Amino acid sequence: MSTAKTITFTLFITTTLFASCNAATNATTKPLFPAILIFGDSTVDTGNNNYPLNTIFRATHFPYGIDLPDHKANGRFSNGKLIPDILAAKYNIKQFVPPFLKPNLTDQEIVTGVCFASAGSGYDDSTSLSTQAIPVSEQPKMFKSYISRLKSIVGDKKAMEIINNALVVISAGTNDMVLNFYTIPTRRLEYPLISGYHDFILKRLDGFVGELYSLGARNIVIAGLPPIGCLPVQMTAKFRNIFRFCLEKENKDSVVYNQKLQKLLPQIQASHTGSKILYADIYSPIYDMMQNPSKYGFTETKRGCCGTGFLETSFMCNVFSPSCPNHSEFLFFDSIHPSEATYKYIGDLLDTQIRAWIAA
């Protein structure tokens, strides 16, 4: 082979290999979803309550955010990332999901998705009356504003393409039980049996999903309730710090609600053509962590890392509250919210389910 032909052949092989490597890289880094959109309460609020809201439910102070890259509190009720951030990173969308109310959101932040959730909110509007949070029912209004901004950036057609293919995550309901039904007598007088209140909440959820669907949401993940009776604050309220046992009655309430939710979701999907709705089981992994802590590397599951771990949350978990030295060994960071380690385990499970769900 002549020198010229050898050089030409070598260039051909090099170019082919480079193109193949480039294609492989693009295949691994291409986002699974063009954007991520988040609705719900403090379990997924990445900082909306930081901004003009008359609420005490804020995580703008240390030790919240202590394990984030900049070690600063930014509104997330944990020591680090939340499920929205974990999933967004897994799907190569972005590392952190910004709150929609954050001033000066960049075009890129808008295009790849934001969070509309508000700590202290619930499906029941009366839940937010006591917390002054943004009710779940009001979050679609923020979504509409988001859509207008998105359309101004990429145009109407591209905007709807992004929304239709975005991953939509909804996580709420715990506050309706903990801050409302179990605490305030009004709803218990209206619904003497909790099953009736469950039905009321699920009807609200049904309407909420329908509203998101009308705005273009198609790939929707809906979280069930955690084992509410295992939340440190609930154990404290019942046992006054003397004993630390999960409240089986409240856990059973969560189980019954989740069973109803799982039966409802296929019906909602069937009534919304082109939608895909996935139930996210939060109860099972957290309950398993409570029962088998060493399996997950936890040494403490019955109190939060912050302060005494029995009552501290929001403003009660602050710079003056001593925190545990090994955050990753605690299932809960404060008396209500999981640690980043817990969220990572749940995120891994959700990731597997979501990938199978989208591929189906």
Task: For residue 134, give the 3-state DSSP assignment.
Answer: coil
Strand-strand pairing, 300-304 and 330-332: parallel
| Catalytic one of 118, 275, 334, 339 | 334
Taking the C-alpha atoms of residue 277 and residue 69, their distance in angstroms, rounded to an integer, is 33
Based on the residue annotation, tell me whether 337 is a catalytic residue of this protein: yes
Q: Tokens for 15?
A: 């170019």
Based on the residue annotation, tell me whether 334 is a catalytic residue of this protein: yes
**CA-to-CA dists, residue 29 to 25, 43, 53, 84, angstroms:** 6, 27, 38, 18
User: Which DSSP category does 327 fall into?
Assistant: G
| Catalytic one of 42, 121, 254, 275 | 42
Please list the alpha-helical segments (H only) found in 248-338.
Answer: 248-270, 283-291
Angle at 90 between CA 89 and CA 95, to 5 degrees: 5
The per-residue DSSP string of 228-253 comes to GGGSHHHHHHHHTTS-----HHHHHH
Q: Is the peptide bond before 135 cis (omega within 30 degrees of 0)?
A: no
Please list the alpha-helical segments (H only) found in 2-70.
Answer: 3-29
Taking the C-alpha atoms of residue 313 and residue 53, their distance in angstroms, rounded to an integer, is 18
CA diameter of the chain: 93
CA-closest candidate to residue 123, choices 229, 41, 55, 215: 41
Known catalytic residues are: 42, 334, 337
